[in-house]
Amino acid sequence: MGNVGASAAAPAGEAPGGAAPLVPAIAHADRFTFQDLVAEATADIGSRPARLIMTILGTVLGIASLVATIGFAQTAAAQIASQFDGAAATRVVVSAAQAQSGSQNKSVAAGRLPWDSPERVELLAGVESATLLGEVELAEGETITAVPVNDPAAAAVASPRLFSASPELLDTAEGALVTGRFFDRGHDARADRVAVLGARIAERMGINRVDSQPSVFIGGVAYAVVGIVDGMDRRSELLDAVIIPTGSARADFGLEAPSELDIRIAVGAGPQVAKQAVIALQPDDPESLEARAPSGSSDLSESVQSDVNVVFLILGVIALLAGGLGIANVTLLSVMERIGEIGLRRALGATRRQIGAQFMVESIVIGFIGGLIGSALGVVAVIVVAAVQGWTPMTDPLVAAAGAVLGAVVGWGSGWYPARRAARIEPVAALRGG
């Protein structure tokens, strides 16, 4: 009896006689690991493939637009830069150096280009062609027209620019004749009143052929049009201008000095030609002239990038908003469909934080998948377009990675409200049918 009483009096979970406990006195804590959270969150994603595709479509389009936008801008900028660099590598421009003069610190030319500058620099090694250029300023009220009569009732039309050039312009500027011919050294020496039109200004004036001997009237003086030129990759502004011989500009409009000497050089000869040209032109005062390469393509490339970026970024943002709303709607629908499951899990011990985290991770995974696919499509689009155009595709790998991360961020923002609503569901209300 005593032994029985001792056994009965022993504490729960302890063996009679003070032996080791048979059952642990402390229960194991609930262990809902991160792996369990991911498993629960992704279990429902693949069960409805059609819904998943429609859900991530907006995110895919948005991320693809953003990645493609940046890739197109980088590719276009690289292409423009390569074209400008190619032109800069074979071009040197010599002009008069500018000096400050007078009490108002006005810039004045410190030197002057000789009229025989092309002949002088063509003797230098590395020079392939050279031409003198000068912009001719007309007197106030004088214009350039294709008709000799001034009609006061006609609408005012902006007068084209007037340039003087030496006969080597076509070769130096890499232009091409559309029709007719270019003036030669004889026209220049005799100061003949002949003109060559750029293709765009010729179209504006309605002149498309020279066999009918058309004329343009510069300040009321008739100049016979002998040719129309196009191309002019190095001097595209000449396509909107009227070009006359340097001798004619000196005789009729008092041109005092040319504005600049444009030199086409062999690749790699730039530093040497730039150093020697000023000495050949002004041996007694080379500092009065300056030789330089044309400015880079930053302005044009930035303009191209801004135009492309605005369009694609707007489309990308709109698609991302649509994708975010799609994820939010589908996640909210999933919450409403699984109210019974949520209530059962809550009754079995799942916390609000675990329920909310499950739906939040589900939205993030959906957004990440959309971002990953969108980034891949954006990169492929850049490569395909570049291949069709014959360009070198330029895409930053960090941009593609950032696109996938941005998709996850969109999913996180879209899943916040549905996850919060799921976490607030009470077990009793859920098990009673919502």
Whole-number Å distance between alpha carbons of 12 and 16:
10
Look up residue 408 and give its amino acid: A
Separation CA 53–CA 55 (nearest Å): 5
CB 223 within 8 A of CB 194: yes
pTM of the model: 0.54
Q: How far apart are CA 168 and CA 223, in angstroms?
A: 20
CA distance 359 to 367: 12
Count CB-CB contacts under 10 A for residue 392. 11
CA–CA dist 418, 411 (Å, integer): 11
Give the separation between CA 117 and CA 92, rounded to whole angstroms.
Answer: 13
Supply the DSSP symbol for 267: T
Whole-angstrom distance, CA of residue 32 vs CA of residue 127 = 79
Helix (H, G, I), strand (E, B) or coil at 261: strand
Gap between the Cα atoms of 88 and 111, Å rounded: 24
Whole-angstrom distance, CA of residue 78 vs CA of residue 81: 5
Measure CA 212 to chain center. 46
Per-residue pLDDT 10s for the chain (434 aa) are 444 444 444 444 444 444 444 444 444 445 667 676 667 666 666 666 777 787 788 788 888 888 887 888 778 777 766 665 555 578 889 998 876 655 555 556 667 899 999 999 999 998 999 999 999 998 888 889 888 766 556 555 678 999 999 999 999 988 999 999 999 999 999 999 999 999 999 999 999 999 988 999 998 899 999 999 998 877 889 999 999 999 999 999 999 889 999 999 887 788 888 899 999 999 998 888 998 865 444 455 555 556 656 766 676 677 677 777 877 777 777 777 777 777 777 777 778 888 888 888 888 888 898 889 989 998 998 899 888 888 888 888 888 898 889 888 888 888 888 888 888 888 777 666 65
